[in-house]
Structure formats: C-alpha cells, structure tokens
Amino acid sequence: MFVYNTVIHLHHTDAAGILFFSHQFEIIHDAYEALLEKIGFGFAALIRKKKYFLPIVHAESDYKAPLFVGDRLHVEVAVEHIGETSFTFAYKLFNAKKQLVGTARTVHVTVGKKTQKKIPLPKDMRKAIQKLK
C-alpha cells in the first residue's frame, strides 16, 4: 500500500466550501502520480522515454462524508488487481479524524505509443506494482 497526504484547498471546493465531486478524482490522480514517482515510473519519464502510455479506462468514486477547505486528507492506495495488460488501484480517503470520507478505483491499461493498442504490462512495471501488495 502507498500513502499520500494532502489538504483540501479552496480551488477543490464549491461555493459552500465543500469538496466539489470531480475534485476527488484530481486528488486520487495526484496520489497515483506520487505513487508512480516513488516506484520509479514518474510521468515525466513515462511520457518522454517509455514506448507506452497508461490511460485510465475506468474510474469510479464514492463520497462518504463532506470535506471542507483546510481539511487534511490521508489517501491510501492499494493494488486491487494486476492483469496481463492492465492494473487496478483502489483508494481510501480519510480525514484527520481517521473517518473514511471517500473511496475510488481506477483501471489502467498499457497502450503502445505507436500502435495505440493494448500491450502486455512491462515486466519492470509489473514487478514494481507487485511490491506494493
């Protein structure tokens, strides 16, 4: 499991100061980017040097409790599944009181840059993701 900590900023909220629903996806994507950086697959290198992309082909999110400007957020990212060409991450979002305030899932597929077709998950990436289990 990987842990990402952040805070709810004003730009994450609606006029009532509550987390705007789509921004939960931004927060989990920030956690995902931090996770990839930690395991050696940061987006800068992926985009510039690798022969594949990792598009999200499915995303879902549930909201369990409101978050407000200034709330501290603890995001846990776990490997839910590793397939031949894809992987799935599950996210749990907790507030400072350790209350579960949201959950999410993202499914990522490995796609060749030139062909735009699914390709097997590269061995080095598979190994790095498996270490998170």
Residues 69, 42 contacting (CB under 8 angstroms):
no
How wide is the angle at C-alpha 102 spanned by C-alphas 98 and 106, nearest 5°?
Answer: 125
Interval 41-54 mean pLDDT: 90
pLDDT in tens, 51-85: 999 999 999 999 999 999 999 999 999 999 999 99
0.85 surpassed by pTM: yes
Query: Is residue 124 annotated as a catalytic residue, yes or no?
Result: no
Would you state the pLDDT for residue 15? 84
Domain ranges for the chain, please list them. 2-130
Which is catalytic among the residues 14, 30, 62, 124?
14
Task: Tally the C-alpha atoms within 13 A of residue 26's C-alpha that lie toward its C-beta.
Answer: 12
Interval 7-21 mean pLDDT: 89
CATH fold group of domain 2-130: Thiol Ester Dehydrase; Chain A (3.10.129)
Q: Calculate the alpha carbon distances from 133 to 10, 79, 91, 99 in Å.
A: 34, 6, 13, 23
Would you state the pLDDT for residue 108? 97
